[in-house]
Amino acid sequence: MKRILFITLFLFVLLYSGVFADSMTGVQYNDPGQINLTGVVGFNGWGLSVGVGAERIMGDLTFIPEFPMEWGLAARGIFGFYLFSGYSGFDYGAAPLATLHKGFNFGDNLEFDFTFGLGLGLYGYSYSSYGWNFSEPIKLGFASFDSVSWKWKKDLWLTLEYAYIGWESVYGIGIRKVM
């Protein structure tokens, strides 16, 4: 449900940018060769999760001149601790991704970067509940890391993110450092 809301918000921003083009401009915040480091803390359905990753911006996508974007390659991971609902254990996942960035400037101090990442990743879990132990061997699954980032300082962005690998997911808040 939250993923649908995120996609709806993104589509609204795209529509808004076409309807109110005079008051908002599409911009590029990433340069080819740039490295983005991301750290996120959030919640999954069972407890607390941590997400980390690195991304290299590969180049610009300017096939639509009025709608500039950038693409990159990333390596991302999530690690979750089961703290709620009577379980104790952890889950994990890691994935290489292809990423797509779209920036918007709504005016002074309102600069946003929408990021979508897709790939395949490895995931698994291990937990115990009421004397039973469960473990999932490492499996291959679809991976998606989607975020919206607000430019807080020159090279520091505040990030809201949804991450998914296999069946492991996390909604989190964190920072993105531009190198």
User: Containing H/E element for 19?
Assistant: helix 2-19
Is residue 104 within 8 A of residue 27, CB to CB? The reply is yes
Token pair belonging to 172: 């989190």
Mean pLDDT per 10-residue interval, the chain, length 179 residues: 59 53 63 94 87 94 80 94 78 94 85 95 86 83 95 93 88 94
Query: Number of folded domains in the chain?
Result: 1
Q: How far apart are CA 161 and CA 66, in angstroms?
A: 26
Which amino acid type is present at position 134?
A: F
pLDDT reported for residue 146 = 94
Q: What is the CATH number of the domain that holds 48?
A: 2.40.160.20
pLDDT reported for residue 68 = 84
Tell me which residue range forms the domain holding 17.
2-178
**What's this model's pTM, rounded to 2 decimal places?**
0.80
Q: How far apart are CA 171 and CA 176, in angstroms?
A: 15
pLDDT reported for residue 59 = 92
pLDDT reported for residue 159 = 96
